[in-house]
A and B are shown apart, each in its own frame.
Chain A
């Protein structure tokens, strides 16, 4: 078994049992990054020096018999998490030279757990995108087929884990940005309950929807990471005061008798046939495991895309105002006056998709339009919440596809934002309702991975991970790896 084929759980055990050192492991990954990243364009920054120093420190702790489950295990952070002393670009020209002066809570906690930072991963600009094509640093390519997108916005994190350039990576999910790339790259992607993981230091896109999470090779790995990054944070008022469970310990909970709701609205036109068949087969598999399947309807769920594209742009239009060329970030050359400084710094610093959303958001919050758009969207959001509440009174979890299609070709949807937005049609609902959701691999269609989405009620992470784990004990879809060399590689 090669080192990069081991899961986080296996790596942790190997390190603690001194089968290999963290420095050896880190060097292995750095070598894989050095040879594999050029084709994928998945890392924006590789922190080789720091990684080796972190690894050496981890080895010392391990040699003393100290350290925990994650000590010495490498990881990659989505470039949306501020990392002290490290370039933190958010995939934007605006922050192309921004070195963060502090650590995000997620970064701080995983470092405290002894994890080794390999680098920062590429992403859609400010997490706005579903294909990783809006990045200032160029698109990320899917390790399963270099002509295809890895999904977005956490496309770099998905690609590095799928290609074995990192054993695990963090991501953020505002409308599906963890689950959709996890589905398109054959990974386990967990978006926790809103408020489970601190947003401090995570550069804000849409504050009421953003949630940090993890892209991993298995439910067990996701459980290990979540336990280390979750929990109350006095620096984030929206982070919930609630103790963190030992998610790994709860994985073996039996799922016999589990009531699974099949979301009727997720199986309509628009769902690609092969994807639909793979998801259906997975549902049948759960029935065989003793779960009870019932069809449920969430009648307002089809309104999630338009609702999301009012709420998220509204919040982003305000969140991104701080990028004004005054204190940090891109500043235009030779501004003539204040207005020119603002207009050119922002005009040059932001890409087309970000500008589109800032303009949309500014519009929906404007006097005379607020009630018709923002307020209405908030009302619909409440209705969607109510739909989920009703459903969870009947069932334990909800299931459906994560994405309507497998990975699509680079450039296929870049000319039509609406088509691109529809990629998130199945994932956005959980963000609007603040619910935890996980995507697990459930098949391959034309050699491309398909994801099954499991949505739980608030703080049901433990149950979601147990359901995913039960599935992964029975199947090996999560163990499939993209071919090496990758399809389309030169």
Chain B
């Protein structure tokens, strides 16, 4: 992007709430059922049916509101958003418009340069999802699958306070982490459980007024969010610098070509004719209900990270990585609990070797083949000097592949570290005898050869020698009698 421009982004995130049944009917919400197998008469919008609000969806929205320090409305109102589309059975979507359940919260993100920033959340409201149109294998016809129709969504609208594609991704990841911590959304982006629309505009640096925005619809991966915004910013700047004007419109991101394309202009936009849904009474939340929900909130990622920094002495960065998901944080704390200390060692192993193995096999922490107690068993052997860190890596891989405990592998493979001073002295004496030239040079002042001798000793002991002990003995014995 050319310098002299500022980007302004606001995100509308749609988080599918993890309720068992739909927001206004008793039909199941499970993903992947045969088309229309999970659509009851209410979801199909049959004549005479009526919506009944799912209390669990309300509870989840309240959890989110409390977690971001927002106002939970004592009275909110469901409204109808009217438009015709085949996957919208009633001809209107039940949403919240003028009076949403949650308003005015914020979340913290860490910017590229490491500074912290608060991003305002304008509002979050409850609404129902639409169904899906199916085009494959039906020739000229279009099929309609209404399994998703009526699935509860929480639409989370940010203030236009994001200033780069990376900010937007950081914010989206933060919300993603939060909704999973709260247990209100499974966060599965492939299945569409967590997706967003991005409102993007640009303006000259220092300008007060916002530029004309474009809305990019239905971004369902962090990578697409970054790429789509990046492309869109470039397109807008180029357009303006070339003497053109940005037209307010809705655009779609084409992930194959990495570009955004116009979907409909402002003039073509629907007039949704919102009005309060007369089938649903205003949603009134008693303070006691809100407090009851507050009492069940888990420790949130920011609180957890702060505790890791304060009580465990971890860096901000490490604490941030370990709290990115509740499962990862639980794993880390699980290892720490069994080991009984050494948080930095635990953090390094969880974020380093273990993350590497998970990544290699495409697993999440929940699918780790070495459990928290298992890893603690391994780390214990590092701290008590039984094995070196280097050997420990080999042991971890063996644990991962063979499913055995660290001690069993150490014993079976004879990996116990040699800490017997007389045995090491004997080995060093042999190494010195086998390399008289190098010994002479070292003693003549070639200090660099020290490393050569360390390597020879480790080689002779198959890596099992305690490195600190080898260093100490070598320094003394090489210096001469």
**A and B: partners?**
yes
Chain A residues with CB under 8 A of B271: 366-367
Determine the interface band of chain A, counting residues with CB < 8 A from chain B.
35 or more
- The residue on B at minimum CB distance from A342 is B84
CB pair A318–B49 under 8 Å, yes or no, is: no
CB pair B279–A200 under 8 Å, yes or no, is: no
CB pair B91–A322 under 8 Å, yes or no, is: yes
Tell me, yes or no, whether B211 is within 8 Å of chain A by CB: no
CB pair B275–A370 under 8 Å, yes or no, is: yes
Complex CA–CA separation, A323 to B92 (angstroms)? 12
CB pair B52–A234 under 8 Å, yes or no, is: yes
Complex CA–CA separation, A315 to B273 (angstroms)? 11
CB pair B48–A100 under 8 Å, yes or no, is: yes
Complex CA–CA separation, A320 to B92 (angstroms)? 10
Tell me, yes or no, whether B41 is within 8 Å of chain A by CB: yes
CB pair A203–B48 under 8 Å, yes or no, is: yes
A366 touching B273 in the complex, CB below 8 Å, given contacts A321-B82, A321-B90? yes
Complex CA–CA separation, A200 to B25 (angstroms)? 13
Mask of A187-207 contacts with B, CB within 8 angstroms, 1/0: 000000000000111111011
CB pair A90–B47 under 8 Å, yes or no, is: yes
Tell me, yes or no, whether B357 is within 8 Å of chain A by CB: no
- The residue on A at minimum CB distance from B83 is A321
Complex CA–CA separation, A233 to B50 (angstroms)? 11
CB pair A322–B281 under 8 Å, yes or no, is: no
CB pair B275–A374 under 8 Å, yes or no, is: yes
Complex CA–CA separation, A234 to B50 (angstroms)? 10
Output the least CB separation between B191 and chain A (Å). 25
**Which residues, 311 to 330 on A, are CB-close (under 8 Å) to B?**
314-315, 317-318, 320-324, 326-329
CB pair B53–A237 under 8 Å, yes or no, is: yes
- The residue on A at minimum CB distance from B45 is A322
Determine the interface band of chain B, counting residues with CB < 8 A from chain A.
20 to 34
Complex CA–CA separation, A476 to B142 (angstroms)? 63
Tell me, yes or no, whether B373 is within 8 Å of chain A by CB: no
Complex CA–CA separation, A205 to B80 (angstroms)? 15
Chain B residues with CB under 8 A of A98: 47
Complex CA–CA separation, A327 to B91 (angstroms)? 12
Mask of A16-37 contacts with B, CB within 8 angstroms, 1/0: 0000000000000000000000
Chain B residues with CB under 8 A of A322: 45-47, 89-91
CB pair A95–B47 under 8 Å, yes or no, is: yes
Tell me, yes or no, whether A338 is within 8 Å of chain B by CB: yes
Complex CA–CA separation, A314 to B273 (angstroms)? 9
Complex CA–CA separation, A322 to B90 (angstroms)? 4
Chain A residues with CB under 8 A of B46: 82, 101-102, 322, 327-328
Complex CA–CA separation, A235 to B25 (angstroms)? 9
CB pair B47–A362 under 8 Å, yes or no, is: no
Complex CA–CA separation, A208 to B91 (angstroms)? 18
Chain B residues with CB under 8 A of A234: 52
- The residue on A at minimum CB distance from B277 is A207
Chain B residues with CB under 8 A of A100: 47-48
CB pair A318–B82 under 8 Å, yes or no, is: yes
Tell me, yes or no, whether A134 is within 8 Å of chain B by CB: no
Tell me, yes or no, whether A280 is within 8 Å of chain B by CB: no
Output the least CB separation between A81 and chain B (Å). 8
Tell me, yes or no, whether B278 is within 8 Å of chain A by CB: yes
Complex CA–CA separation, A285 to B127 (angstroms)? 55
Output the least CB separation between A364 and chain B (Å). 9
- The residue on A at minimum CB distance from B52 is A237
CB pair A318–B48 under 8 Å, yes or no, is: no
Contact of B86 among A81, A88, A338 (CB under 8 A): A338
Chain A residues with CB under 8 A of B52: 234-237
Tell me, yes or no, whether B144 is within 8 Å of chain A by CB: yes
A204 touching B48 in the complex, CB below 8 Å, given contacts A237-B281, A365-B273, A374-B275? yes
- The residue on B at minimum CB distance from A328 is B46
Contact of B92 among A236, A321, A338, A367 (CB under 8 A): A321
Tell me, yes or no, whether A104 is within 8 Å of chain B by CB: yes
Output the least CB separation between B40 and chain A (Å). 10
Mask of B27-67 contacts with A, CB within 8 angstroms, 1/0: 00000000000000100111111111100000000000000
CB pair A324–B47 under 8 Å, yes or no, is: no
CB pair B41–A102 under 8 Å, yes or no, is: yes
CB pair B91–A315 under 8 Å, yes or no, is: no
Tell me, yes or no, whether A238 is within 8 Å of chain B by CB: yes
Contact of A321 among B50, B84, B86 (CB under 8 A): B84
Complex CA–CA separation, A465 to B128 (angstroms)? 42
Chain A residues with CB under 8 A of B91: 318, 320-322, 324
Tell me, yes or no, whether B306 is within 8 Å of chain A by CB: no
Mask of A362-392 contacts with B, CB within 8 angstroms, 1/0: 1001110010001000000000000000000
Chain A residues with CB under 8 A of B49: 200-201
Complex CA–CA separation, A88 to B49 (angstroms)? 14
- The residue on B at minimum CB distance from A320 is B91
CB pair A200–B41 under 8 Å, yes or no, is: no
- The residue on B at minimum CB distance from A311 is B278
Mask of B263-291 contacts with A, CB within 8 angstroms, 1/0: 00000000101110011110000000000
Complex CA–CA separation, A317 to B142 (angstroms)? 26
Output the least CB separation between B68 and chain A (Å). 28
Contact of A207 among B47, B144, B274, B279 (CB under 8 A): B279
Output the least CB separation between B90 and chain A (Å). 5
- The residue on B at minimum CB distance from A374 is B275
CB pair A328–B86 under 8 Å, yes or no, is: no
Chain A residues with CB under 8 A of B51: 237
Output the least CB separation between B24 and chain A (Å). 9
CB pair B280–A200 under 8 Å, yes or no, is: no
CB pair B45–A200 under 8 Å, yes or no, is: no
Mask of B219-260 contacts with A, CB within 8 angstroms, 1/0: 000000000000000000000000000000000000000000
CB pair B278–A82 under 8 Å, yes or no, is: no
Complex CA–CA separation, A83 to B62 (angstroms)? 39
Chain A residues with CB under 8 A of B275: 314, 318, 365, 370, 374
**Which residues, 53 to 80 on A, are CB-close (under 8 Å) to B?**
none
Complex CA–CA separation, A104 to B49 (angstroms)? 9
Output the least CB separation between B57 and chain A (Å). 14
CB pair B47–A203 under 8 Å, yes or no, is: yes
Contact of A327 among B44, B48, B50, B142 (CB under 8 A): B44
CB pair A327–B45 under 8 Å, yes or no, is: yes
Output the least CB separation between B316 and chain A (Å). 48
Mask of B62-98 contacts with A, CB within 8 angstroms, 1/0: 0000000000000000001010101001111000000
CB pair A208–B50 under 8 Å, yes or no, is: no
| 18 other A-B residue contacts (CB within 8 Å) besides A315-B278, A317-B273 | A200-B49, A201-B49, A207-B278, A234-B52, A235-B52, A237-B50, A237-B51, A237-B52, A238-B279, A318-B82, A318-B92, A318-B273, A322-B91, A324-B84, A327-B89, A327-B144, A366-B271, A367-B271
7 contacts between A and B (CB under 8 A): A81-B48, A101-B46, A238-B278, A238-B279, A317-B273, A318-B91, A321-B92
Q: Which residues of B contact A (CB under 8 A)?
A: 41, 44-53, 80, 82, 84, 86, 89-92, 142, 144, 271, 273-275, 278-281
Q: Which residues of A contact B (CB under 8 A)?
A: 81-82, 88, 90, 95, 98, 100-102, 104, 199-204, 206-208, 234-238, 314-315, 317-318, 320-324, 326-329, 338, 342, 362, 365-367, 370, 374
